[in-house]
């Protein structure tokens, strides 16, 4: 008896299979057919999520999108993460993080095991590939047609967050004790020079397909100037004002906390507060939650830090960060060379989490799936 096994296939590899599967080149088509037949015969079931579908929908070429959707039909069974609120809706990392928060607020004991077991037993649904397409294709193609998949925005965010100064990130908050604010005039002059430097940095290390670095830099600087005005109206010490402006509680930091870590705490708090609001849980209970206890956050943060060490930003990083958690629920998780390296580092820094993951394998070409899934 062949036991079903879940496999998360890198979306670019899935795209290569679809391209060859429907190719007019006989040899390519036969090879792709052979790989799909092999996966099916060995009992491997693709694990999908909202993030996989979002990456399919990002392509402007309708034929590419159609072929990738159609390939899913070739699997007799597919698995997919469902929403924590409605099992008929595709789920994402947001749903998994929401579930995790509920579990932690109830009981923190054996959290990793309870979390993974609950997702596998209740939040992974199964259907035929054809049923999956019949259920989801129309809705998500409408979302695409309405322009709700903003690929350029993802490139902007990834590019801006990739342009970071290690010196600034490593600065300790204690430095603020002896610092003073520039005058508004000095700040504006400084930020306009910074804007010019930012444009150059976006060109050099931002996403290669970022359409308008000048406009992106200008909008970013304008937002920073508006938010920074709050520091001038605050009557609190600069240290306290700076921490609160980042959306962080004073009890979450010490003078030894770095600016880089403050930034991550700000992102974490924003995520958690949004999830608590959606769950109808009082925001005050966020003090019961610790960032390092949340697997969803630990993996996301690890991936983000690793990606920032790359030479250039990539708009695809956003979905790669989100999909990393799926390795916890897959028997095999395929990744390209870059993402595979991120997981190797995770195995060193978060060994207990990595130990619960399926086999993470580096996959450069889809024909290797036959050997991997033997």
pLDDT along the chain (374 residues), means of 10: 82 95 97 97 96 90 94 97 90 95 94 94 95 93 81 89 88 90 90 94 94 94 91 89 95 96 97 96 95 96 94 91 96 95 96 96 94 93
Query: 237, 230 in Cβ contact below 8 A?
Result: no
Q: What percent of the chain is modeled with pLDDT above 70?
A: 99
Cβ atoms within 10 A of the Cβ of 278, count?
A: 13
Query: 41, 365 in Cβ contact below 8 A?
Result: no
Nearest-Å Rg of the Cα atoms of the chain is 23
User: For the whole model, what pTM was predicted?
Assistant: 0.93
Residue range 55-107, pLDDT digits in tens:
998 888 999 999 999 999 999 999 999 998 888 899 999 999 999 999 999 99
């Amino acid at each position: 008896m062949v036991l079903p096994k879940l496999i998360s296939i890198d979306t670019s590899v899935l795209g290569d299979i679809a391209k060859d599967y429907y190719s007019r080149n006989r040899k390519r088509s036969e090879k792709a057919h052979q790989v799909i037949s092999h996966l099916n015969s060995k009992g491997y079931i693709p694990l999908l999520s909202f993030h996989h579908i979002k990456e399919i929908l990002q392509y402007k070429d309708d034929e590419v999108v159609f072929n990738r959707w159609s390939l899913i039909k070739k699997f007799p069974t597919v698995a997919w993460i469902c929403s924590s609120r409605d099992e008929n809706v595709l789920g994402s990392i947001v749903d998994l993080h929401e579930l995790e928060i509920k579990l932690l607020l109830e009981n923190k004991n054996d959290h990793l095991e309870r979390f993974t077991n609950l997702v596998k037993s209740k939040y992974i649904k199964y259907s035929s590939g054809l049923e999956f397409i019949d259920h989801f294709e129309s809705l998500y193609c409408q979302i695409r047609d309405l322009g709700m998949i903003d690929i350029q925005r993802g490139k902007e965010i990834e590019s801006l967050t990739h342009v970071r100064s290690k010196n600034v990130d490593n600065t300790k908050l204690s430095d603020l004790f002896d610092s003073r604010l520039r005058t508004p005039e000095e700040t504006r002059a400084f930020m306009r020079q910074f804007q010019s430097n930012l444009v150059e940095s976006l060109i050099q290390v931002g996403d290669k397909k970022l359409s308008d670095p000048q406009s992106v830099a200008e909008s970013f600087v304008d937002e920073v100037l508006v938010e920074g005005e709050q520091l001038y109206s605050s009557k609190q010490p600069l240290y306290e004002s700076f921490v609160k402006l980042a959306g962080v509680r004073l009890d979450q930091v010490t003078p030894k906390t770095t600016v880089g870590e403050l930034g991550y705490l700000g992102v974490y708090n924003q995520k958690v507060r949004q999830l608590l609001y959606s769950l109808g849980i009082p925001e005050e209970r966020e003090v019961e939650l610790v960032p390092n206890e949340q697997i969803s956050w630990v993996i996301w943060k690890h991936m983000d830090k690793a990606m920032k060490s790359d030479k250039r930003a990539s708009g695809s990083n956003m979905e790669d960060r989100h999909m990393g958690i799926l390795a916890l629920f897959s028997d095999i998780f395929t990744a390209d060379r870059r993402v595979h390296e991120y997981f190797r580092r995770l195995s060193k820094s978060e060994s207990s989490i990595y130990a619960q993951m399926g086999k993470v394998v580096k996959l450069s070409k889809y024909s290797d799936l036959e050997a991997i899934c033997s």
